[in-house]
């Protein structure tokens, strides 16, 4: 029986990000993935929001994604577009990049970190005891791990086997999505009718002056809302053709599909993200309509919240209770995503003059600066605030990527996070803070920063004298010139000073 400290079930975006985080922290993690390779038959998610780009920047890999995608203003709410170019971030935009490319780039990173991937094997069951989890694979083999994380998508076997409830709402709308060739030139762009929203575009596109410009030729990406909800059969080319004819009066001679799938607005969230040694992340923990492009982004950020916590628990430096903060912090984030996607689906529902009026009203509201800023910060993930108690506005929020001056020269805050270790940043005059007994776990950096401390939506906040930044980039403690509260924060997030480490 093979053994790993952590077994990640599913090598989609969430599983890959999590495995990378664990590997960076020196933890023996492996992925079990049923797919033979990272290739995705279809393009699926359309890109990344600003906070996810920041998160990747914190690990030094954002450039890999930026080099391949289309930087654009992608955030929006119920088709009201937002411009976040005025936001205080190094990435005041989103990135158009198909999930197939996102996964390929993440897989390359995970490969560099030497994470073993057990491919073409499916987890078929598991049993947990006080010390670990025995995991059964489809090839008859088994693996044992201290912790098991289900990153196995919306139909998660891990969630079901762990007996975790998945309450929520059934679908009210359903759409076919496909990539195929056409013999006739299709009507590119979106169309709204009594059935709902439809869209045709080429898989290859560029963004020029903020506008999507499709390639002249190549496969077409089809999204067509179905007349009825609830079909359980695998969609076929015939279904696609009929749906197109129903909306456009022609199927444009559609043929040679490489991918036909269906998505709905089913909205559900795991009641708990943890059952003892089994955890859930990504679509395994939350599913909802793709409107607003939140799913992949939320999953990747789940992984970044969980990775360093699980690593510290596995390495024996922090108590197992640290893992409960994963649910406490991330469940509300996805609950909000569920709420906003449901609101958007409702607003975009066709065929009622009253809904048209409501849509216009919301659109008016969102054109005002403060509502725009609040909603844009929410949709781009830049406003995420974990409840770490009362205090300075930075507490629980993302650390801005500042240009610091240190004894070693200029340095960006996010560069300090590349190793996924906690950072104690001393910005005071006197060097009054110290990592003390945590010096082996926390990187102390003394530097200067003369600029403004500006947060999205909140604006300028008082400059702190020191900050403790968690590996996920969230601020865990803010110093006022003394070290009051620092030991407590270090104990809470980095484990007790005296804890015996099980592993080096």
Ligand X SMILES: Cc1cc2nc3c(=O)[nH]c(=O)nc-3n(C[C@H](O)[C@H](O)[C@H](O)COP(=O)(O)OP(=O)(O)OC[C@H]3O[C@@H](n4cnc5c(N)ncnc54)[C@H](O)[C@@H]3O)c2cc1C
Residues of the shown chain interacting with ligand X in the complex, contacts defined by CB under 6 A = 9-15, 32-35, 44-47, 99, 122-123, 151-153, 157, 177, 263, 282-283, 290, 293-297, 299
CB of 296 to ligand X, least distance (A): 3
Q: Which is nearer to ligand X, 70 or 413 (CB)?
A: 70
The answer for residues whose C-beta is within 8 angstroms of residue 484's C-beta and 6 or more apart is none
Q: Which is nearer to ligand X, 381 or 400 (CB)?
A: 381
Q: Which is nearer to ligand X, 282 or 456 (CB)?
A: 282
Q: Is the dihedral of CA 223, 227, 230, 231 positive or negative?
A: negative
Q: Which is nearer to ligand X, 210 or 389 (CB)?
A: 210
Residue 264 near residue 155 (C-beta atoms within 8 A)? no
CB of 151 to ligand X, least distance (A): 5
Q: Which is nearer to ligand X, 41 or 459 (CB)?
A: 41
Q: Long-range contacts: 185-192, Cβ < 8 Å, 24+?
A: 185/252, 186/220, 186/248, 186/252, 187/248, 188/214, 191/247, 191/248, 192/350
- Do strands 196-202 and 189-193 pair parallel, antiparallel, or not at all (unpaired)? antiparallel
What DSSP element (H or E) covers 105? helix 99-112
Q: Which is nearer to ligand X, 177 or 490 (CB)?
A: 177
Q: Which is nearer to ligand X, 277 or 288 (CB)?
A: 288
**Cα(232)–Cα(234) distance, integer angstroms:** 7
CB of 141 to ligand X, least distance (A): 13
CB of 295 to ligand X, least distance (A): 2
C-alpha distances (whole Å) from 458 to each of 56, 480, 487 are 23, 20, 28
CB of 332 to ligand X, least distance (A): 18
Residue 97 near residue 48 (C-beta atoms within 8 A)? yes
CB of 12 to ligand X, least distance (A): 2
Q: Which is nearer to ligand X, 26 or 168 (CB)?
A: 168
What are the tokens at 468? 């403790």
CB of 61 to ligand X, least distance (A): 17
CB of 503 to ligand X, least distance (A): 27
C-alpha distances (whole Å) from 35 to each of 104, 121, 499 are 13, 8, 40
What is the 3-state composition of the chain as percent helix, strand, coil, each rounded to the nearest 5? 30, 30, 40
Buried b / exposed e over 480-504, threshold 16 CB at 10 Å, is eeebeebeebbbbbbbeeebeeeee
């Amino acid at each position: 029986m093979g053994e790993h400290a952590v077994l990640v079930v599913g090598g989609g975006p969430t599983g890959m990000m999590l495995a990378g985080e664990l590997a960076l922290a020196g933890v023996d993690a492996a992925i079990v993935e049923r797919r033979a390779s990272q290739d995705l038959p279809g393009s699926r998610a359309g890109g990344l929001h600003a906070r996810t780009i920041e998160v990747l920047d914190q690990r030094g890999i954002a450039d890999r994604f930026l080099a391949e995608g289309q930087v654009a203003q992608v955030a929006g709410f119920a088709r009201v577009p937002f411009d976040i170019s005025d936001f205080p971030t190094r990435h005041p935009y989103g990135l158009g990049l198909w999930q197939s490319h996102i996964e390929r780039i993440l897989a390359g990173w995970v490969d560099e970190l030497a994470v073993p991937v057990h491919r073409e094997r499916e987890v078929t069951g598991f049993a947990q005891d006080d010390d670990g989890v025995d995991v059964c694979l489809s090839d008859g083999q088994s693996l044992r791990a201290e912790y098991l994380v289900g990153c196995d998508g919306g139909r998660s076997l891990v969630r079901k086997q762990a007996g975790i409830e998945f309450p929520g709402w059934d679908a009210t709308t359903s759409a076919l999505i496909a990539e195929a060739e056409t013999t006739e030139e299709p009507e590119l762009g979106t169309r709204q009718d009594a059935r709902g929203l439809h869209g045709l575009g080429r898989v290859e596109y560029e963004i020029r002056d903020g506008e999507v410009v499709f390639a002249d030729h190549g496969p077409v990406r089809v999204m067509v809302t179905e007349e009825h909800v609830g079909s359980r059969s695998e969609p076929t080319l015939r279904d696609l053709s009929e749906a197109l004819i129903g909306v456009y009066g022609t199927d444009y001679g559609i043929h040679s599909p490489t991918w036909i799938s269906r998505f709905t607005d089913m909205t559900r969230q795991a009641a708990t993200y943890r059952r003892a040694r089994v955890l859930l992340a990504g679509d395994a923990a939350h599913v909802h309509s793709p409107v607003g492009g939140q799913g992949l982004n939320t999953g990747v950020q789940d992984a970044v919240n969980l990775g360093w916590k699980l690593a510290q628990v596995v390495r024996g430096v922090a108590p197992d209770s640290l893992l409960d903060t994963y649910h406490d912090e991330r469940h509300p984030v996805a609950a909000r995503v569920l709420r906003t996607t449901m609101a958007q689906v409702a607003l975009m529902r066709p065929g009622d003059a009253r809904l048209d009026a409501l849509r216009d009203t919301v659109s008016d509201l969102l054109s005002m600066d403060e509502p725009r800023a609040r909603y844009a910060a929410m949709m781009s993930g830049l406003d995420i605030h974990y409840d770490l108690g009362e205090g300075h506005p930075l507490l629980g929020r993302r650390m801005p990527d500042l240009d610091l001056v240190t004894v070693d020269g200029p340095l960006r805050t996010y560069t300090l996070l590349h190793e996924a270790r906690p950072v104690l940043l001393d910005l005071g005059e006197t060097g009054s803070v110290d990592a003390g007994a945590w010096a082996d776990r926390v990187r102390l950096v003394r530097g200067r920063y003369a600029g403004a401390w500006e947060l999205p939506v909140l604006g300028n906040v008082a400059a702190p004298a020191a900050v403790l930044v968690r590996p996920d980039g969230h601020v865990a403690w803010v110093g006022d010139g003394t070290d009051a509260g620092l030991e407590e924060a270090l104990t809470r997030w980095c484990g007790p000073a005296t804890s015996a480490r099980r592993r080096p």
